[in-house]
Amino acid sequence: MFKEAINEAIRLEMERDETVILMGLDVAGSAGTGQERDSWGGVLGVTKGLYHQFPDRVFDAPISESSYIGAAVGASACGMRAIGELMFADFLGVCFDQLYNQAAKFRYMFGGKAITPVTIRTIIGAGFCAAAQHSQSPYSIFTHVPGLKCIVPSNAYDAKGLLTTAIQDDDPCIFFEHKALYTVKMEVPEEHYRIPLGKANILQEGKDATIVALGLMVGVATKAAKQLERDGISCTIIDPRTTSPLDHDAIFSSVKKTGRLIVVDEDSSRCGFAADIIAMTAQEVFSSLKSAPQMVTPPFVPVPFAKNLETAYIPSAARVEAAVRQTME
Amino acid sequence: MSGHMSKEDLLKAYRKMRQIREFEERIHTEFATGEIPGFVHLYAGEEAVAVGFCEHLNDKDRISSTHRGHGHCIAKGVDIMGMMAEIYGRKTGTCGGKGGSMHIADLDVGMLGANGIVGAGPPLACGAGLASKLRKDGSVSVVFFGDGAANQGTNFESMNLAVTWDLPVVFVLENNGYAESTSPKYTARVGTENIADRARGFGMPAITVDGNDFFAVYEAAGEAIERARKGGGPAFVECKTLRYYGHFEGDAQTYRPKGEVKEARANNDPLKRFAAVVVAADLIDSAELEKIDKEVLAQIDGAVTAAKAAPEPDPESLFTDVYVSY
Ligand SMILES: Cc1ncc(C[n+]2csc(CCOP(=O)(O)OP(=O)(O)O)c2C)c(N)n1
Ligand SMILES: [Mg+2]
């Protein structure tokens, strides 16, 4: 399971490296209540069990994201490898400065003298009627910032390998976990392994169109591609896995072959990941394009609460299918 | 202690508390059937705090609330039918089904919104207080926040701002002993017992009251609100209370001592304590209270039935109200 894979990656890194520490709200739980600790393991139970194994390196924090996420950044600039858990990515607003102006810029501003190997894990995604402040996927905002690395895993195997790499990476990494993926089952090797940042996963190769998708949208793209296959339209599906660094070569070389590009993204459509990929592709391999690239994103609105509105908000396989067909016209 | 409340006031306060209780109990049972979407945080057990404060407020006064906002909404006068429909995600909801439990707001009655972001309320309440001060209409703002939220930087910064600008803001700490699974005994050295101790450092009056004693809350609230109305600046009231349910619906609550809620329901329930006081003082007889209980039960039942029958939001509403104009 996706969430177990994340737990395993953290546990293995904490076993291998004593400088790895973990902090967040209720990452153990029951602090100060007099009851058995580790009652929560984070809001969705991802870090459960870690407190008992590493009681001196797992810290429950007061609700004060600026201070404890900032402390993760500071500790990481001072010899630790801190993993800060931010319950929902929507709360990034509370601690924005510590990532945007601090973690991201230390190395550059300090003339290359600092490393800040912090990893911020956070939950993204719509689909649970959690409304406008608990459903966003704001990885584009952080991709925008030079100095930060952004990781958006789409399956359990990748999550474990990418998180392992992120923890050991010397730059600040933000790791975005989609809540709808947590309980998806998949065989994951028990041992330690890494997946490099900036290396896309090509799920399937086709000749007609290139679909780029991230996180939960990889599954949506795959479903659309299966449907299109029946009509003889074959697609390449590329999961970049990380938005920064970005494996543009994988995208450009695929578009050179297919001549068509569709990007599926759950983040906001303006100045976002999908727009970025399309802009780069247009600039670099314009002459290979046979038709206008298409973005499949939510409408430019906050995430609504009611189920019917939320379902309409999230990019669907049907919309991806239609976008691919449009590039074929 | 209830000297300055008329019988009518007392009955009104009791009805509000009963409405909150019944509303939350009913949502608890309905949630278990799987029909209520999203994250829901219930206020049952804390009724005396919201009602003790809001009984001193009018529609011009503003409150800002939390993720546990149903009680504040009802106390401030948000329509119960609309609230229930909102929680079910219906077109007829207070926010047209676009906000849900964590975002119920009704600016017409001075309710600035429940809030999904812990610690977002205090700065907004300072803004409301500043607007009141500039309008010179004698209105005040009241911000409800939890013991967990008390640790958020926004809260400390807002207390300082309210003192600096001398704003008519009352900070109401609902200390229910838990922030999710974490106790205030862990999160600070000052304020382990009374978080109000921290507020005094900012130079505003701060007291701690029994938040399950409606009359203690009502009196402390009256003083703080009156002071703010008269230009005396901010004040802080800590109310010690307990939530009867989990942090959110579905929480297994293994961080709580067994029997804690059962004991509180039996011996420290704000509604029972209110009833005991007014009946013993011969202000109201218990038949009148029972009549209110029955009426409220029917009212909540009606709200649930109507919410279930109400239509979903129109698909086009996905796109509306992002901006005023664009
Ligand atoms: C900025 C932010 N951090 C964390 C959360 C997740 N969260 C929601 S409620 C809550 C606990 C709040 O505790 P408290 O303030 O005591 O209020 P209570 O739930 O007890 O009413 C937390 C951590 C959030 N919604 N927003
Ligand atoms: Mg609390």
Residue with CA closest to ligand 1 atom 4 = B118
Distance from CA of B169 to the nearest CA of A (A): 22
The residue ranges of every structural domain in chain A are: 2-181, 201-328
CA of B119 to the centre of ligand 1 (A): 8
Instruction: Summarize pLDDT for A9-19 with one digit per residue, the tens.
Output: 999 999 999 99
Residue ID of nearest Cα to ligand 1 atom 7: B118
- Average the pLDDT over B190-194 and give the result: 86
Express each pLDDT in A103-148 by its tens digit.
999 999 999 999 999 999 999 999 999 999 999 999 999 999 999 9
- Residue A292 near ligand 1, beta carbon < 6 Å: no
Residue B100 has what pLDDT? 98
Average pLDDT, chain A: 98
The domains located in chain B, with CATH, are 7-319 (3.40.50.970)
pLDDT on residue B190: 86
Tens digit of pLDDT for each residue in B295-311?
Answer: 999 999 999 999 999 99
Q: By a Cβ cutoff of 8 Å, what residues of chain B touch chain A?
A: 37-39, 89-90, 95, 97-100, 102-103, 115-119, 148-149, 151-154, 178-188, 254-257, 312-313, 315, 317-319, 322
Confidence bin at B223 (pLDDT 50/70/90)? very high
Question: Cβ distance B65 to B113 under 8 Å?
Answer: yes
Q: Residue A237: which of A245, A246, A250 has the closest Cα?
A: A250
Q: Write down the mean pLDDT value for chain B.
A: 97
Q: Quick check: A268 and A90 in contact, CB under 8 A?
A: no
Topology adopted by domain A2-181:
Rossmann fold (3.40.50)
A285-289 average pLDDT score:
98
CA A275 to chain centre: 17
Across the range B133-148, mean pLDDT stands at 97
Domains A2-181 and A201-328 share a fold: yes
Tell me the angle at which helices B7-32 and B47-54 cross, rounded to the nearest 10 degrees.
140
3-state secondary structure chain A: CHHHHHHHHHHHHHHHCCCEEEEECCCCCCCCCCCCCCCCCCCCCCCCCHHHHCCCCEEECCCCHHHHHHHHHHHHCCCCEEEEEEEEHHHHHHHHHHHHHHHCCHHHHCCCCCCCCCEEEEEECCCCCCCCCCCCCCHHHHHCCCCCEEECCCCHHHHHHHHHHHHHCCCCEEEEEEHHHCCCCCCCCCCCCCCCCCCCEEEECCCCEEEEECCCHHHHHHHHHHHHHHCCCCEEEEECCEEECCCHHHHHHHHHHHCCEEEECCCCCCCCHHHHHHHHHHHHHHHHCCCCCEEECCCCCCCCCCHHHHHHHCCCHHHHHHHHHHHHC
Could you tell me what percent of chain B has a pLDDT over 70? 99
Evaluate whether B120 touches A33 at the Cβ level (below 8 Å).
no
pLDDT of residue B188: 85
Nearest ligand 1 atom to the CA of B116 is: 25
Inform me whether the pLDDT recorded for B3 exceeds 80.
no
The number of the ligand nearest the C-alpha atom of A87 reads 1
Closest-lying ligand 1 atom to the alpha carbon of residue B150: 15
A75-103 residue pLDDT tens: 999 999 999 999 999 999 999 999 999 99
Categorize the per-residue pLDDT at A4 as very low, low, confident or very high, splitting at 50, 70 and 90. very high
Residue B158's pLDDT band, with cuts at 50, 70 and 90, is very high
**pLDDT tens digits, B177-191:** 999 999 999 998 888
B contacts of A313 (beta carbons < 8 Å): 318
Ligand 1, residue B117: give the atom nearest the CA.
Answer: 26
What is the rounded distance in angstroms from the CA atom of residue A124 to the CA atom of residue A133? 11
Residue A59 has a pLDDT of 98
Encode pLDDT of A39-72 as tens digits: 999 999 999 999 999 999 999 999 999 999 999 9
Per-residue pLDDT for A249 more than 60?
Answer: yes
CATH number attached to the domain at A201-328: 3.40.50.920
pLDDT at A321: 98
Distance from CA of B15 to the nearest CA of A (A): 30
Q: What is the ipTM of this complex?
A: 0.96
pLDDT in tens, B253-309: 999 999 999 999 999 999 999 999 999 999 999 999 999 999 999 999 999 999 999
How high is the pLDDT of residue B191?
A: 82
Which amino acid is located at B176 in the chain? N
At B195-217, the pLDDT tens digits run 999 999 999 999 999 999 999 99
User: In degrees rounded to 5, what are phi and psi of residue B207?
Assistant: -135, 160
